[in-house]
């Protein structure tokens, strides 16, 4: 099902919305992409950069449809946007969310022709906890921890959770009953604390 979103802009381009593309089935849950893409009528050879958007949610379940109007503006300006649903920390502990990014990116080539995606121009974008997941995904890939990761042209962050030691000490908001696993456990790479997962593993591998 396609939904047409009319947005006024000087290019006279439409942003179209194609909902609920399943990118991976984990058995106990399925995860989806919400895809918004440019439409210029009879133009068939145009290729567009892709933004994989990772929404913030304090690492809990995401509200996948809230950002559609804003993301449609990006589509109307010549970007394909794939808003990515990832496993919340309530059902899959960090770094499962990094695995979700890897699986979403592996799914993209199979639909690139459908949406005229330029596979040489892929960007990650995230806000809040989604920004943290975007940063960690690039970091994992740089250290060979993500297989099949494409070249990433850039990373766009909005209010990203960058200092998780501070996050872990902060009081929980009233609506958040359980502290997310990404802020509970330590994760070290080459002596630097990037996330929070098992510190003992790093020390046992010979760290000072």
Tell me the average confidence (pLDDT) per consecutive run of 10 residues in the chain, 208 residues long.
47 83 96 92 81 90 89 92 93 90 96 94 92 89 83 86 63 64 47 38 36
In the three-class reduction of DSSP (H, G, I as helix; E, B as strand; rest coil), residue 208 is classed as coil
Cβ within 8 Å of residue 160, ≥6 positions away: 126, 127, 128, 130, 131, 132, 134, 135
Beta-strand pair 192-196/48-54: unpaired
Question: What is the phi/psi pair of residue 94, to 5°?
Answer: -55, 135
pLDDT for 170 equals: 66
The token duo for 138 is: 């690039």
**CA–CA separation, 188 vs 108, rounded Å?**
29
pLDDT for 6 equals: 47
pLDDT for 11 equals: 55
pLDDT for 139 equals: 86
pLDDT for 39 equals: 83
pLDDT for 94 equals: 83
CA angle 98, 124, 117 (to 5 degrees): 115
């Amino acid at each position: 099902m396609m939904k047409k979103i009319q947005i006024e802009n000087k290019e006279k381009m439409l942003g179209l919305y194609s909902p609920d593309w399943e990118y991976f089935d984990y058995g106990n849950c399925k995860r989806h992409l919400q895809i918004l893409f440019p439409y210029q009528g009879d133009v068939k050879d145009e290729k567009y950069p892709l933004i994989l958007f990772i929404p913030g949610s304090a690492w809990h379940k995401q509200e996948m449809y809230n950002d559609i109007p804003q993301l449609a503006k990006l589509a109307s300006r010549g970007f394909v946007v794939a808003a990515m649903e990832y496993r919340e920390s309530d059902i899959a502990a960090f770094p499962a969310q990094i695995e979700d990014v890897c699986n979403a990116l592996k799914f993209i080539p199979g639909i690139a022709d459908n949406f005229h995606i330029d596979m040489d121009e892929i960007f990650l974008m995230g806000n809040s906890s989604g920004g943290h997941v975007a940063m960690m995904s690039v970091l994992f890939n740089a250290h060979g921890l993500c297989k099949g990761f494409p070249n990433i042209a850039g990373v766009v962050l909005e209010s990203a959770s960058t200092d998780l030691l501070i996050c872990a000490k902060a009081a929980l908001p009233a609506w958040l009953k359980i502290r997310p696993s990404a802020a509970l456990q330590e994760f070290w790479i080459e002596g630097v604390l990037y996330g929070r997962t098992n510190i003992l593993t790093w020390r046992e591998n010979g760290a000072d």
